[in-house]
Amino acid sequence: MSRDAVPMLNVPDVAATAAWYQGIGFELVDSAEDEGRVTWACMRFGEGEMMLNAGGSPSAARRRDVDLFCYVSDADAWFGEVADQGELVEGLHDTFYGLREFTIRDCNRFWITFAAPVKPGDF
């Protein structure tokens, strides 16, 4: 039996959030509507998935209750692709735990960190 944990973000506008994530390389796997409004979506990034659910509230908080952490093969290349798609929280940097990473905010102010191993092959 396989096991997976899939985060679900509660957001004010599922359709707009799904479109934003598609713009940075996520794939829309499935969605559901209620009375013509998208109320749920499943997104995939590589092997990982997350769900978006209607009912979330906008936030001006510095940081939300959930962050997304995405492993990529080349953080520098991803930085060039997506850093301007959201507010930059942390620029490219090497961490003490062996990753090169950066963090942006999504359209709902959730933090998304993209990270790759500093030494190739450590993934």
Other beta carbons within 10 angstroms of residue 101's beta carbon come to 23
pLDDT tens column, 58-72? 999 999 999 999 999
Q: Are 31 and 13 in contact (CB under 8 A)?
A: no
The answer to whether the pTM exceeds 0.85 is: yes
Print pLDDT tens along the chain (123 aa). 778 899 999 999 999 999 999 999 999 999 999 999 999 999 999 999 999 999 999 999 999 999 999 999 999 999 999 999 999 999 999 999 999 999 999 999 999 999 999 987 665
Q: For residues 88 and 84, what is the distance between their CA atoms, to the nearest angstrom?
A: 7
DSSP structural state of residue 12? S
